[in-house]
Structure 1
Amino acid sequence: MTVSPAESTESAVPHHDPTVESTVPHRDPAVSLTAFDGSRLRVVLMLDIRDGTQQEFLEAYERMRDRVASVPGHISDQLCQSLENPTQWLITSEWESALPFLSWVNSEEHLETVKPMEDCVRDTRSMRYSVMRETFSRRTPAAGDGPQPAPRVGGNVVRHAITFTVRPGSEPEVARILSDYASPEARVDATTRLLRTSLFLHGNRVVRAVEVHGDLQAALRHVARQPEVRAVEEAINPYLEQDRDLTNPQSARLFFTRAALPAVHHVTAGQDAAGVQRLALFYPARPGSGQALARLLAGQDQAAAGVPGSPLVACTVFHRDDLVVRLVDTTADPELAPGPVLALPTPEALAEAGRLLDTAALGLDGPPAGDRDLPRLLARARMRPLTDRRAPAS
C-alpha cells in the first residue's frame, strides 16, 4: 500500500534542474535494470505523522485497506508503528511484480484512495525492492512468480522522468525557458550527486529525464529547494495545461504524481564510446497497449545489448498508462540506422509495434508497413531536444 504523500518525496518535487554528468565511475558490460523480470516487489513506505493525528491516520488506513487489497497484483501489506516514536509509522506492501504496482501508484484511483490520509502525513519516504531471497518457517510462500533469480549488476545510478503538457501555442516560450536556466549545485551530499538532466519537447508535451548517482529522493529534495529551480518552475507555471501551486504541498503532490514517468527498463551495452548522442523517442500507444509496447521495446533493447558492434550505448524505457518514452544513447546517425534506434530492427518487431502504436497521434496515416516507413516513423517519434546538461566531473 502506498499513500500519495509518500510518493510525493519521489515524484512531487519540482524536477527542473541538475547540471549533470553522465560519467559513472564504473560500468559493467551489458548492464540491465528492468521491471519486466517478473520478480515480486516489496515497497517500504516510511511515514512521519503529524502530532496528535495517530488515531485519525489509523482510521483512514482502515477505510482504504480493503480497496487497496482488491488492486490487481497486490499480495499483502502491513501497517507498523514505531516502538520509540509514536509519530513514525511504516507500511510495507508486497506485489506480484513491479508492473501492477507502478500502474496503481501512478493512477488517479490511487490519488483518490489515499486522499483521506493526506492531512495526517507530515513527511514520507518510499523505497522499492525486488525480492531476491526468502526464508520461511512452517509457512507457505506467498503468491507470485518468485524471487529475482540473480542480482542486478550496475552502478549506483537512478533514472527518473516526468512529463507534462503546456498550452498549445506556448511551446516556443516554454522551450526558451527550459533551454536557458542557471543550473543548481550538483553535489547533494557525500554520497549523492546529480549527474545529468535532459529535456525534450514533442508537440506540446515536455519530458524531463534526470540521472542521479546515489539517493534519488535526497537529490530531488535538494533540487526542489534550489532558487534556480524554483525560478524556472514559476516561469513555466502560466503555460501549463494542468494548473499547480508549488507553494501548496497537496497541489505539488498531485501535479508531480500525475506527471511521473517511471523507468521500467534500462540496459547499458558496455563502455561509453566516442561520438555518442542522446535522443528521446515518443511512442503513444493504443488504449490499453502501453505496457505491451514498453515490453516490446525493452526486449529489443535487451537483445541489441548483446550484439557486437551495436550502435546503442544505453537505452531507458519510461512507461505510464498509454505513453512510452525511450531515451537512447547511440553512436549512429539516427537517420542511417532508424531500425535499431527505434528498437524496431526486424520485420516482426515492426509489425508488432504497428499493432500497438497510436500512429494517428504521431501524424501517420497507418501502421508502418516495412523498412521504407522507418525514416518517417523516426522523424515523427523523435522529440525536440531542449537541453542536455552534465555536471562537471568531481
Structure 2
Amino acid sequence: MDFAFDARTEELRAKLLAFMDEYVYPAEAVAHEQRDRLASPWENVPVVEELKAEARRQGLWNLFLPDSEYGAGLTNLQYAPLAEIMGRSPQLAPTVTNCAAPDTGNMEVLTQFGDEQQQKQWLEPLLAGEIRSAFAMTEPDVASSDATNITTHIERDGDEYVITGRKWYISGAMHPDCKIFIVMGKTDPDGEDVRRQQSMVLVPRDTPGVAIERAMQVFGYEDHYHGGHAEVIFDHARVPVSNLVGEEGGGFAIAQARLGPGRIHHCMRLIGMAERAIELMCRRAVSRHAFGKALAQQGVVHNWIADARVTVEQLRLLVLKTAWLMDTVGNRGAHTEIQSIKIATPRAVVDILDRAIQLHGAGGVSQDFPLAELYAGARTLMIADGPDEVHQRSLARRELKQYL
C-alpha cells in the first residue's frame, strides 16, 4: 500500500488549498451575513454563486466523480486528500465545487444506472451545477436503518408508475433549484426476496401529487448550503415507466452502490473537520489566559491536543487504506474497511470537536466560531448512511463467521 500523493493529486491539492485560503474561508462570514438578509433561507446566497463560478474557472469542479467522461476521473485515493481539505469548511467548500451530497450520490447513480435519456435530462444539468437534486429513501413511520422496512409504494399502472408514501430528512429538497427526486419504494412488496422488493424511480419535483410538507432541522440548523432537509409527501404521484432507474427490484443494490462512496466521502471530510478543530484549539490555547497562565500551558489542554493529533493520524491512515482498497478490489472487497471508518470516524471526530468547544468556552457554542455547526454535522453522521449500530452488527457477523 502506497499512500504517497501522485503528481496530479499534488497539483489539485495546491490549487484547492489556495482556493480555500483566498476564497472559501473569507466567504464563511460573508455567506452567513448575506443569508440572514435573504427573504427565504433557501434562496441562493450571492457569494456562494460567485465561488461556484471561480471554482469552475480553476478546474475545481466535480472532483468526486471517478468517471472521466463526466467528472475529474480521480481514484478514491486521489480524491481523499481533496475531500479532507473541503471538510475544513464542510458547508461551503463541497457546495461551491459541486462535490456536495446528496447531488454527488445522485450523479453517481445516474452515471452508473441511468439510461441515455435520463443522463441527458438530469445528469448533465447536475454536472453543470444548473439544478440540484434529492434522494428520497428515509421514512418517518418505520425504522429506516433497515431499508427493507420502507413502505412507499411504487405501483405500475399501464405506462406509468404511481408513487404513494411519506419521506423525511430528504436532503436537498428545500433548495429552489432542486428539480428531481430519486425515490426508493416497493414495486413488489410481497416478493419472496426482501432485497428485491424495492426499486428507484425519478420523480420531477413539479410532479402533481408531490408536496413539501415541512423543512426539517438538524440540531436546530437548517443546513442551507446542502439545500436543507424536508418531509415530502407523494400522493399518487405519476411518472412514466421510463423513469425507472435500472431495473425493477434493483433499488436495494443501487442504494448500496450509492452509499458506499458516500460513506467514504463523509469520512474524508470528517478528517478535515478534525484538522480545523485542532487548528482552532491551538490558536485559542496560545491566545487565552486563565489563572495566571496561557491555556496552552495547562496540562489537560496538552492532553486534548495530543490525543486529537494521534486520533487524526490513525483515522487518516484507515481512510486512505479504505480508498486504496476500493480502487484495487472494489467496494465489496473493501466492505470491512468501509464499515470500520463509518463507525470510527464520526465518533472520534465528535470527541475532538467536543474538546475544541470546551476549550473555547461560550465561544465554542456560538455562531462566531464554526465548531458548533461542525459538531452538529459530525454527530449527525453517526446516524446518516446507516447508524453505527447497523454497521457494527454487520461487521461483527463477518468477524464471527469464520469461527462458526
TM-score computed with the length of structure 1 as normaliser = 0.30
Between Structure 1 and Structure 2, the one with more strand by share is 1
